[in-house]
Homo-oligomer: A and B are copies of this chain.
Amino acid sequence: MAIKPRAKYTMRDVARLAGVSTSTVSAVINGSVPVSSARAEKVRAAMAALDYHPDEVARSLKTGRTNVVGVIVPDITNAFYPEVVRGVEEAAGKAGYSVLLCDSSEDARTEEKHLNTLFARRVDGVLLACCAHSTAYDTMVRRRFPMVFVDRVPAAAPEGTIATDNVGSGAMAARHLIALGHERIAMLAGNLELSPHRDRLEGFRKAMQEANLPIRDEYLISGGVQVQDGDDAGVQLLALHPRPTAIMVSNNQLFLGLLQALERRQVRIPEEVSVVGFDDHVWNAHFHPSLTAVAQATFEMGRRGFELLQHIMGRKPGEELPEKHVRLEAELRVRNSTGRAG
C-alpha cells in the first residue's frame, strides 16, 4: 500500500492509497457519479496527501476538450492589447479556461503559423485581432473552428466579432473638433486595410458631411501606423497652405509621432493646431498639453469577447448566437489638446 514518493502521481496511486478503484477516484473528481461520502473522503485525503492534480493532458485526450483558448494579438507591447488580454484572461479564468498567448508582429504569415499551432494543440477556440492581409477568416471557415474576431474585424465575417463602434467614435471625435469651430480638419487615418482605421475614417467623413465641410485630399494621410509614420505625416501637414487647424489621429502610435513633429517645429497646441487621437491611457493626462482622446472599452472587449467565444464553442449545430456582432461604445475624454478654432 506504500506509494513511492515521485514527482507526479496518477489516479492509480490515489486509488491504491485510498483503497478504491480508479473509477471511484474519477467519480469523486468529476462528480459524474454518486460516491458514498466515506469513500469520497478517503479519496480526497489521498489526493491531498500526494499533492495529486489530475493530468489535464490525459483528460483532454479523453474528453476532446482542452479548456484552453488561444489569443493572437498583433503587438502585445501596444498598450491597447494588454488590457484586452487582461479582460479575456479574467473571464476565461472564471470559466475554467487558460489562455495561450501569441503575438503575430503584424505579420500575416506569423499569424497563420500561430493559428496552425493553436489548432494542433487542440485549443477549444481562438480570439484574434488580425493583421493586414490576414488569411485567418478562410482558415477558420475551412476548419470550422470556433473563433472570435476582436478589435480588427474582417468584413466578410457573418458572426463572431467584437469591436468598438469605430464609425461612431470616429464621428464623435470629428464632431468635437467641428463643434469647436474647426473647418480645416486633417486626419491621419492609419492603415485602411484594418477595420478600425477604415471605420474611423468613415466616421470622420460622416461628421464632415453632416457639417457641410469639405475634406481636402491633402488633409487625408493614410498608410503606416507606426510612430515614424505619424511624424512624417505631421511634417507633411505643416508644409501645407493653408494648414489644417485641427488634426484627428486614428491610433496611439501615429498620435505620438504627430506630437513629436509638432513639438520639433514648436507648433503650439491647441493655439495653432488642435489634436485628438485614439486610445487613451493614464499617461495622456500628463502630456503637455494633456491630450484629448477616445477611450475604448478595452477590458470589456476582452471579457465579452471571451463570452461570445464561449457561446460559439458551446452551441449545437445550426443553433443561432444570441449576438453575432458586439459593438462597444467609446468615450471621448476632452482635455487640453483641443481648443476653439483660431
Contact = CB atoms under 8 A, between A and B. Distances in A.
A90 B116 CA distance: 16
A101 interface: yes
Given A51-B143, A120-B54, A256 B286 contact: yes
Contact of A82 (B7, B60, B82, B143): B82
A321 to B, nearest CB: 19
Contacts of A268: none
Nearest to A54: B120
A122 B57 contact: yes
Contact of A79 (B53, B79, B90): B79
A105 to B, nearest CB: 8
Nearest to A298: B77
Nearest to A77: B82
A61 to B, nearest CB: 5
A76 interface: yes
A4 interface: no
A263 interface: yes
Contacts of A79: 79, 82
A98 interface: yes
Contacts of A83: 77
Interface of A is mostly: helix
Contacts of A103: 86, 89-90
Interface string A259-283: 1100100000000000000000011
Given A53-B116, A256-B282, A256-B286, A98 B121 contact: yes
Contacts of A11: none
A119 interface: yes
A282 B331 CA distance: 24
A79 B81 CA distance: 11
B76 A82 contact: yes
Interface in A60-116: 60-61, 66, 68, 71, 76-77, 79, 81-83, 85-86, 89-90, 93, 98-103, 116
Contacts of A227: 282
Nearest to A299: B77
A1 interface: no
A236 interface: no
B117 A98 contact: yes
A55 interface: yes
A76 B85 contact: yes
Interface string A28-72: 000000000000000000000001011111101100001010010
A60 B58 CA distance: 9
A52 B228 CA distance: 42
A241 interface: no
Interface of A: 7, 51, 53-58, 60-61, 66, 68, 71, 76-77, 79, 81-83, 85-86, 89-90, 93, 98-103, 116-122, 142-144, 227, 256, 259-260, 263, 282-283, 286-288
10 contacts: A51-B142, A57-B122, A76-B89, A77-B82, A77-B86, A79-B82, A82-B82, A227-B282, A286-B288, A287-B288
